[in-house]
Amino acid sequence: MLGEARNHDAVVLMQDGKKQPLFAVYRKSLVPQIEELSGKASARSLP
């Protein structure tokens, strides 16, 4: 997954035709957008 992430903003695992966003690689530059869309606690506050 890390190798694919070099050319993309996110690489998300697909299992049985469904996206698994918790098993993904995201660029750090996406953090503000992820936080805005989630409407929840800051992703930066995660360990």
Full-model pTM: 0.62
Burial of 12 by CB count in 10 Å (0-12 exposed, 13-18 middle, 19+ buried)? middle
| pLDDT tens, residue order, the chain (47 aa) | 777 777 888 999 999 999 998 899 999 898 888 888 877 655 555 44
Token pair in block for residue 13:
């695992």
CA distance 1 to 15: 14
